[in-house]
Amino acid sequence: MVENTQLHIEGMSCASCVGRIEKALQQVTGVITASVNLANETASITGNADTAALIAAVNNAGYQIKQRQQQYHVSGMTCSSCAGRVEKALLKVPGVLSAQVNLATEQVNLTLLESVDAATLQQALAGSGYTLAEKPLSTAAADSDTTPFYRQAWWPVVGAAVLTLPLVLPMLGMLFGEDWMLPALWQWLLATPVQFYFGARFYKAGWGAVKAGSGNMDLLVAIGTSAAYGLSLYLWYSFDGHHGMPHLYFESSAAVLTLVLLGKFLEHRAKRRTTDALRALENLKPSEARVKRDGSWQLVAAATVQSGETVQVKPGERIAVDGEVLSGDSHVDEALISGESLPLHKSSSDKVVGGALNLDGVLELRATSVGAESTLAKIIRLVEQAQGAKAPVQALVDKISSIFVPVVLVIALITLLGWGFNSGDWTLGILNAVAVLVIACPCALGLATPAAIMAGTGTAARHGILVKDAVALERATRIDYVVFDKTGTLTEGKPQLNQLTALSGTDTDLLQLAVSLQQHSEHPLAKAILARAEQENIAPLAITDFAVVAGKGVKAQHEGAELMLGSSHWMRELGLELPLDRITAKGASISWLARKQQQNIELLGLFCFSDMLKPHAKAAVAQLQQQGVKVAMLTGDSKASAEVVAAELKLDSYQAEVLPADKASFIQQCQREGYQVAMVGDGINDAPALAQADLGIAMATGTEVAVSAAAITLMRGEPVLVAAALTLAGKTYRKIQQNLFWAFIFNIIGIPLAALGYLNPVIAGAAMASSSLLVVSNALLLQRWKIKE
C-alpha cells in the first residue's frame, strides 16, 4: 500500500542539506519519491517504507527528526488483552513510533512524529470499541466522563445486587432443607435486567473485541453468562410438566455479572488510591496569584504570571510560582514537594518552590520559573512518566495476555465436549464450561505490574524521591555498588574558608586577587572566598579573559599576568612545587593561587576550606552497607580532605583529586569487575559519571545538568534517601513478583478446578473478581512504607 509520510527535520541550513537528505531517503527500501522543503523544514515521502527506516536514514545523514512525547486517556479497556489491542492499533498509525498502555491508569504514552494529530489516533481506535481523550491527563483516568457507568456511581452495582439476591437466597435455603425457589417466570423477570441492562457493557466491549479479531475479559464474561442464561431458557422451554420443575441457572448468570460489576467497582476505587500522590501534587497548584501590575496588587490566574513579575504570598496561601524572596520573613512547608517534614525559614534572597505552603509571614518574591518550567510541573511530569511506563517484566505478561483469551475459549470448548460425551450430561458440561470462562480473567495479569509501579513511584514521590521510569526501578534492585560525590552530596556543600596563607605579598592582597577571579562564580569554594571578602570589605579588581578550566579551577588576565586559582593537581601539572608543610588545617580542601608572567610561574598563596558532613551521611552509608552494597567516594578535593571524610564514614574505598572524566572511568572499571553501579552527584562535573553508571541518582539541590542525566532525582539533598530509594525499589519489585504469582496461581489452579467440575459459576465469578482486587490491594501496601533514618 502506497502511503504519504511527512517528516519534520531539524538541522538543515542550506540547499546541500536538502540534497543529502533526499539522497539518504531515496536509498531506503520502499521509497518511491522523496522531496525536502528547506523553507518549512519538512520531507515528503511517497511509498511503503518503514517509518523507523526513514528516521534512521535521516539520522545517519547527520540530521534529526522532530518527535514529541504525548499522553492520552483511553476509556473502554477492561483487561490486559484490551491494552495490547490498543497498542497494536495505535502502532499501525504512520508516524507513531512507540505506544505503551498502562491498564491501571488507563492511559497511553506515545512517541509521535510532529505530523500525527489526535484525530488520526482517535480514528485508529474508533472501530475497536475504545475512546481516546484528546487532552493529556494526569488524574483523568479516575475522573473522566467517558468511564463506564459502573465507575461513576455505586447504584448499578446495588441495582444488580437487589435483583440477584432473591435468585441466590434459595441456594442458602437449600443448606437448611428449605425450598425457597422462585417460579421460573419470576426468575426470568429478575435475571433479564441484570443480563441485558446492567450486563450490556460486557456485550458491547466483547463485540468490539470480536470485530477487532481478538478477545478480552468482557468476551469471556458475556459468553459464559449468556450460556448459563440460554441454558435456563432452554430447560424452562423444554419442561414437559412432569417430575417437577428442573433447576434453572438464572441465578448463576445474574450472580456472576453482579460479582464482576462489584469487583470492578472495588478495583476502580482501589486503583484511584494508587494515583493519590499524583493527585495530591496536582492539588498543590494554586489557581490564583497576587501580582504587582500597574502599581497595584492584582489577583490574576496563576497560569498568566510571567517570569520576572513580583508576586505577593500571604500566610496560609500556596506559592504560585518558583521564585526568589525579595522581602519578608516566613516559614514555608515544602513537605509534599521535597518530602522535608519540617517547615523551612525563608527570607530575602532565598529560593521558594511553587506549591509550597506559606505559614506565618507575608513574602514578596520575584517569579523565576512559571508554568511548565516550574519545579512542581516538572515533578508532576516525572511522576506521570514513571507511572505510565512499563516495566521490562511486563513484556512477558503482554505476550501471555495476547494468547490468553483464545486458549481459555479452547479449554472451555474441550470442557463442554468432554463432559457432554463422557457423562452424557450436557447441562453439567455447559455449567463447567461457563465456570472456566468466568474464572479465567486476565485483569489481574494486566494490573499486577502497573499497580505496583504506580504505588511504588507514588510513595517515593511523597518522600521526595522521583523515579524517571520503570526501568530505573528495576535497575535499582540490582545495585551492589554506590559511588558518592563528596561536596554537596555527602557534605553540606557550604565550605568555610578557615586558612588563608600568603606565600608572596600580604593576606589581603591574596584575598583580593582570589575574589577578583571568583566574583561571578557559583562554586561552593568561590562562595566561601566571597563571604570572607565581604566580611573584610575587600572589593574585586578588574580582570579580563576569564575562563573555567574543567575539573581544575579558573584563570584570568590581570595587569599583563595570568592568574590561576585551582587544585593541587593542576598546580603540579603547571610544574609547581607545593609547600604542603604550610597547611595547618587538617582534612581541608585546598586551593592554590598562582601567577604566570611570560615564562615565570610563582605561587602566591593557599586557601583551606572545611565542609561539614551532612547530618545523616553516616547513617546513609551504614544502611547501604547493611544491604550488602559497597560504598565509595570520588572527589576532586585533596587526598587529606578525602581521607578524613572516608575514615569518618567508614567507606569501602575512595579516590581524591579526580577529574570529571576520571569519575566516569572509575564507574567503568567497577562495571568491568561485575558490579552494578549507582552514581550519586549534584554538579555539572558529575554528569558524565551519572550517565555512565547503571543508575544515576542526582540531588535536585544541584545543577539542572546533573538532574537531567540521572534516572532518580532526590528532592532533598539527603544521602539517606539513596538507601531509601534502593529499598523502595526492591519492595516495589517484590510486590510485582507477588502480584504476578497471585495472578497466575488463580488461573493455574482455578481453570483446571472449573474444568473438572469442582467450581460452580458463582464461586468462579467471586474468585475472578477477588483476583483483581487482591493484586491492587497488595500493591497499595507500599503506601505504608516509611523512610528509616
For the domain that residue 299 is a member of, what is the CATH number? 2.70.150.10
Share of residues in the chain with pLDDT > 90 (%): 19
**Given 46, 65, 84, which residue is the final one in a domain?**
65
The CATH number assigned to the domain holding 506 equals 3.40.1110.10
Separation between Cα atoms, residue 717 and residue 616, nearest integer Å: 10
Residue 624 has a pLDDT of 94
Position 441 pLDDT exceeds 70: no
Residue type, 341: S
b/e map 545-561, b = 16+ CB within 10 Å: ebeeeebbbbbbebeee
Is pLDDT of 127 > 70? no
**Average pLDDT over the chain, rounded to an integer:** 82
- Which residues make beta-bridge pairs with 65? 9
| Predicted pLDDT of residue 83 | 80
CA separation for the pair 692, 786 (Å, rounded): 30
Pairing between strand 653-655 and 630-634?
parallel
The total number of structural domains that make up the chain:
5
Angstrom distance (rounded) from CA 306 to CA 760: 65
Q: How far, in Å, CA of 393 to CA of 449, rounded?
A: 8
Amino acid, res. 600: N
The pLDDT of residue 136: 43
- pLDDT confidence of residue 27: 86
Q: Are the CB atoms for 245 and 107 separated by under 8 Å?
A: no
Last residue of a domain, one of 65, 88, 108: 65
User: Does residue 139 register a pLDDT over 50?
Assistant: no
* Res. 656: pLDDT tops 80: yes
402: nearest Cα among 200, 267, 260, 216: 216
For residue range 447-456, list pLDDT tens digits in order. 788 788 888 8
Q: Is 233 inside a domain boundary? A: yes
Whether residue 143 lies in the annotated active site: no
Phi, psi of 210 (to 5 degrees): -60, -45
- In b/e form, how buried is each residue of 407-445, taking b as 16+ CB within 10 angstroms? ebbebbeebbeebbeeeeeeeebbbbbbbbbbbbbbbbb
Q: Residue 381 domain-assigned?
A: no
Which pLDDT score is estimated for 703? Answer: 54
Query: Could you tell me which residue, 727 or 4, shows the higher pLDDT?
Result: 727
> How far apart, in whole angstroms, are the C-alpha atoms of residue 170 and residue 181?
5
pLDDT in tens, 45-80: 888 888 888 888 888 888 888 888 888 888 878 766
CATH number, domain with residue 18: 3.30.70.100
Residues 179, 81: one domain?
yes
Same domain, 145 and 115: yes
The tens digit of pLDDT for each residue in 206-255 reads: 787 777 666 667 777 888 888 888 888 888 887 765 555 667 778 878 88
**Residue 553, in any domain of the structure:** yes
Residues 662, 670: Cα–Cα separation, whole Å: 12
Instruction: Please indicate, yes or no, whether residues 554 and 540 belong to a single structural domain of this protein.
Output: yes
Residue 76 backbone zone (phi > 0: left; psi -120 to 50: alpha; other: beta): left
Would the pLDDT of 616 be above 70? yes
Give the residue from 86, 116, 115, 114 showing the smallest Cα distance to 100.
86
589 in Cβ contact with 624 (< 8 Å)? no
Do residues 437 and 408 make contact, with C-beta atoms less than 8 angstroms apart?
yes
Whether 674 maps to a domain, the answer reads yes
CATH code, domain carrying 618 = 3.40.50.1000
Three cell numbers written together for 373: 518550567
CB 79 within 8 A of CB 207: no
Sort strands 600-610 and 589-597 into parallel, antiparallel or unpaired: antiparallel
Q: What is the mean pLDDT of residues 742-767?
A: 84
Same domain for 200 and 119? yes
Residue 645's domain spans which residues? Answer: 465-491+613-715
**In what side-by-side order are the strands of the sheet with 42-47?**
31-37, 42-47, 3-10, 64-65
- Per-residue model confidence (pLDDT) at position 193: 94
Task: Identify the domain boundary among 314, 343, 374.
Answer: 374
Of the residues 398, 469, 485, 694, only one is catalytic, namely 485
Question: What is the pLDDT, as a whole number, of residue 142?
Answer: 40
| Angle formed at CA 33 by CA 45 and CA 44, multiple of 5 degrees | 25
Instruction: Say if residue 95's pLDDT is above 60.
Output: yes
DSSP 430: H
What band does 391 get if pLDDT is binned at 50, 70 and 90? low
Closest CA to 291 of 270, 266, 312, 273: 312
Residues 272, 406, single domain; the answer is: yes
Q: How many CB atoms lie within 10 A of CB 132?
A: 23
Statement to judge: residues 161 and 275 lie in one domain: yes
**Percent of the chain whose predicted confidence (pLDDT) is above 70:** 86
Give the model's pLDDT for residue 345: 87
Specify the pLDDT at position 5: 79
Q: Are residues 422 and 478 in the same domain?
A: no
**Distance of alpha carbon 419 from alpha carbon 757, whole angstroms:** 9
Q: Do residue 121 and residue 164 come from a single domain?
A: yes
Q: pLDDT band for position 150 (50/70/90)?
A: very low
Best-predicted range by mean pLDDT (113-127, 229-243, 613-627): 613-627
405 in the same domain as 337 = no
Whether the pLDDT of residue 787 is over 90: the answer is: no
Cell of 106: 488507563
DSSP 311-369: EEE-TTPBP-SEEEEEE--EEEE-HHHH---S-EEE-TT-EE-TTPEE-SS-EEEEEEE
Q: Is residue 780 part of a domain?
A: yes
Is the pLDDT confidence value at 138 over 50?
no
pLDDT digits (tens, 9 = 90+) for 461-510: 888 888 877 788 888 999 999 999 887 788 887 788 888 999 988 999 99
- Which one has a higher pLDDT value, 727 or 451? 727
pLDDT digit string (tens) for 560-598? 899 999 888 889 888 898 888 888 777 777 889 999 988
pLDDT band at 93 (very low <50, low <70, confident <90, very high): confident
Do the domain assignments include residue 170? yes
Cell of 672: 568491568
Report yes or no on 727 lying in a domain.
Answer: no
Same domain, 226 and 89: yes
Could you tell me the sign of the dihedral formed by the alpha carbons of 669, 674, 680, 686, in that order? positive
Mean pLDDT to the nearest integer, 287-310:
90
d(CA 589, CA 495) in angstroms, rounded, equals: 9
208 with 104, same domain: the answer is yes
Q: Which pLDDT belongs to residue 611? A: 81
Asked if 22 and 171 sit in the same domain, the reply is no
Cross-strand pairs, 100:
109
Indicate the pLDDT class of residue 143, thresholds 50, 70 and 90: very low
Per-residue pLDDT, averaged over 389-410, amounts to 74
Tell me if 585 sits within 8 A of 610, measured CB to CB: yes
365 inside domain: yes
Encode pLDDT of 678-726 as tens digits: 999 876 667 788 888 899 888 876 556 556 667 888 888 889 999 999 9
